[in-house]
Amino acid sequence: MEKAFPLERKNQILDIIRHKGRVTVDELKEVFKVSGATIRRDLEFLERQGLITRAHGGAIIRGKVALEPDYFEEKQKFLEEKIRIGKEASKMVEEGEVIFLEASTTVLQMAKFLRDKRELSVITNSLEIAQELRGIEGISLVVIGGTLRKRTNSLIGPLAELSLSQMRFDKAFIGISALDPSSGITTPTLEEAQTKKEIVKAANQVIALCDHSKFGEQNFAFVMPLEKINILITDKGVSSSFKGEIEKKGIKVVVV
């Protein structure tokens, strides 16, 4: 296998362990053409994330982590709930603001309710959101650079992070892949997690859009603790216990 970057290698190692159920350090050394010490550090990292359990001479999968759903299937799941969440989020946008809309199936629904806004600056890493808002009078649209992740039509990676580091937003509207009160917010890939961290860092206020199916889930890459969110908008499918746990962390929860 062509030598991978460290983040890519960790993702690929996890894919191999998921597929085989068990793997040895020697097998991974042969695949990635790196030292045993490097592989062991990668396995230690994955174990700290709660994704695998290290065994003698290798590792086995820990079956708690949700796999990434197909994006186009995800767009159709809980569509009515996503539309309600998106509409509510659009009400939080004021004229003259600079906002960031993250690549997300729920944030995409929000974008459809922004067409009547005026004097609004929208920055996004989503090709679909950009297409939705292109050419609308009153909306200044900026699409950040980055590497295209075809699975989600999003721009992520080092170039995206560099662009974001030069920006500041009044509000960032982000999607959530997985949310758990104890493990925080997680996402399927390390690259996506890093880009999301930069989005949050650049925002004065972070508003998360999340349908109830994402609660209690855990993905591969840690993004941030829940306390980094200011407002969470979700649907009526959320349990009262989950809602209560999140509110205890000082987060305003809006249910629609």
Q: What is the CATH number of the domain that holds 32?
A: 1.10.10.10
pLDDT of residue 80: 92
Asked if residue 66 belongs to a domain, the reply is no
One domain for residues 15 and 103? no
Domains held by the chain: number: 2
In the structure encoding, which two tokens stand for residue 114, read together? 């922004």
pLDDT tens-digit profile, the chain (256 residues): 555 678 888 888 988 887 777 788 998 999 999 999 999 999 988 888 767 878 768 887 665 555 555 555 565 668 999 999 999 999 999 999 999 999 999 999 999 999 989 899 999 999 999 999 999 999 999 999 999 998 889 999 999 999 999 999 999 999 999 998 878 999 988 999 999 999 999 999 999 999 988 887 888 889 999 999 999 999 998 888 789 989 999 999 999 9
Asked if residue 1 belongs to a domain, the reply is no
pLDDT of residue 4: 66
Distances (CA, A) of 49 to 64, 69, 151, 172, 245: 11, 20, 23, 26, 22
One domain for residues 11 and 98? no
pLDDT of residue 193: 94
Asked if residue 21 belongs to a domain, the reply is yes
Residue that terminates a domain, selected from 42, 61, 80:
61
pLDDT of residue 81: 94
One domain for residues 53 and 79? no
**CATH, residue 215:** 3.40.50.1360
Asked if residue 146 belongs to a domain, the reply is yes
One domain for residues 131 and 86? yes
Cα radius of gyration rounded to whole Å, the chain: 19
Residue that terminates a domain, selected from 16, 32, 61:
61
Whole-prediction pTM? 0.74
For residue 156, the cross-strand partners are 147
Q: Say which DSSP state 105 is in.
A: H
pLDDT of residue 207: 98
One domain for residues 78 and 193? yes
pLDDT of residue 69: 58
- With H, G, I as helix, E, B as strand and everything else as coil, classify residue 139: strand
One domain for residues 249 and 123? yes
- Other beta carbons within 10 Å of 17: 22
- With H, G, I as helix, E, B as strand and everything else as coil, classify residue 129: helix
Asked if residue 87 belongs to a domain, the reply is yes
Give the domain extent around 79: 71-255
One domain for residues 57 and 75? no
One domain for residues 87 and 197? yes
Could you tell me which of 202, 235, 207 has the C-alpha nearest to residue 94?
A: 207
One domain for residues 36 and 117? no
